[in-house]
C-alpha cells in the first residue's frame, strides 16, 4: 500500500510486494494466487467477466480474495480512462461474482483507493457511507502518517498529540 500511496503503479507495487512476500516462510499459496492474478486475461481487459474471476477461486480464503481483488484492479486499470472511471469499474468487477464479494471488494477498494484516492470513488457512492466523517479522518491520518513527511518529534517519533488524536 505504501508504494501505491507514494505513486507506484499497481504492477510495480505488486512486484515489490511479491519480492517481499517471497522472503517469508509459508508464502507459497499466496504467491501462486498472485501470480495467477497477474496473468492478463486472454481476450484483453474487456473479456474479464465476473465468472472468469472465479478461475482464481471464490474469495473465501485470503489468497483467493487477494487474487480476485488484484485481477479486478489490474483489469480496470488496463481498460484505461480517468480514475473516476477506473475505480468504479474495478470495484464493480470485484464484487459482482458468486463468491466472497465483500472481501474481494474491500481489498480491491483498498488497492484502488491507495492508488487513486477517495475522490476517484463516485460522490453518490461516498454520500451514503455510514460514519463517513470518521472514515475520512482515519484515512487522512493514515495518509499523513505513512506519507512522505510523517509527523515526528526531535527523536524521529510521532509526537504524543499525534498518538492521542483519536483517543481524546
DSSP 76-92: HHHT---HHHHHHHHHH
Over residues 7-53, the pLDDT tens digits come to 899 999 999 999 999 999 999 999 999 999 988 766 666 556 666 78
Q: With H, G, I as helix, E, B as strand and everything else as coil, classify residue 128.
A: coil
Decide which of 4 and 149 is more confident: 4
Nine-digit cell string for 75: 483489469
Beta-carbon contacts of residue 10 (< 8 Å; ≥ 6 apart): 4, 70, 73, 74, 77, 111, 115
The rounded percent of the chain whose pLDDT value lies above 90 is: 53
Distance CA 139, CA 133 (A): 10
pTM, rounded to two decimals: 0.84
| Confidence (pLDDT) at 47 | 59
Amino acid at each position: 500500500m505504501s508504494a501505491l500511496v507514494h505513486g507506484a503503479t499497481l504492477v510495480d507495487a505488486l512486484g515489490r510486494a511479491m519480492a517481499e512476500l517471497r522472503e517469508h516462510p509459508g508464502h507459497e499459496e499466496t504467491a501462486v494466487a498472485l501470480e495467477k492474478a497477474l496473468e492478463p486475461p486472454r481476450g484483453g481487459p474487456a473479456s474479464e467477466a465476473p465468472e472468469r474471476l472465479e478461475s482464481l477461486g471464490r474469495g473465501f480464503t485470503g489468497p483467493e480474495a487477494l487474487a480476485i481483488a488484484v485481477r479486478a484492479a489490474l483489469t480496470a486499470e488496463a481498460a484505461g480512462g480517468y480514475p473516476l472511471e477506473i475505480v468504479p469499474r474495478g470495484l464493480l468487477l470485484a464484487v459482482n461474482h458468486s463468491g466472497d464479494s465483500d472481501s474481494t471488494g474491500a481489498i480491491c477498494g483498498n488497492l484502488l483507493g491507495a492508488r487513486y484516492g477517495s475522490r476517484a470513488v463516485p460522490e453518490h457512492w461516498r454520500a451514503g457511507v455510514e460514519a463517513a466523517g470518521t472514515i475520512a479522518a482515519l484515512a487522512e491520518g493514515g495518509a499523513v502518517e505513512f506519507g512522505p513527511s510523517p509527523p515526528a518529534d526531535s527523536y524521529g517519533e510521532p509526537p504524543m498529540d499525534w498518538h492521542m488524536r483519536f483517543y481524546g
